[in-house]
Amino acid sequence: MLDYVLVGNIENCRLEAEVSNDRGEVIAVIYEDPFGWRVEEIETSPGKIPSEFVEHVKAKMQRYVNRIGSNPPEECTRGELALWLMAKDDGTAMGISYSV
């Protein structure tokens, strides 16, 4: 059984889905960059993520308007940057209204 959590990676300035197995171990990271979608599987688990699961996660991430991290707001705090990465197309971030 696989699960995922979406996180705003401020070091790489992108939204990521951390995929974990049934033991809670992170086995992959899914994200989009300017060149397309990426799935980085952890060395110990290649080939263990079904394409249907990846497509499901990508569809969920499509709602996050800043997922690629292009043109981040200037002079923001780490927390503000993380929230910016988590902004959805409905104007919310983490369930609350959000604006920069």
Domain boundaries, the chain: 3-97
Rounded to whole angstroms, the Cα distance separating 54 from 41 reads 11
pLDDT of residue 47: 66
pLDDT for residue 100 is more than 60: no
pLDDT for residue 96 is more than 90: no
Rounded to whole angstroms, the Cα distance separating 45 from 27 reads 6
Rounded to whole angstroms, the Cα distance separating 56 from 60 reads 6
CB atoms within 10 A of CB 74: 5
pLDDT of residue 43: 73
Tokens of 96: 């609350």
pLDDT of residue 97: 81
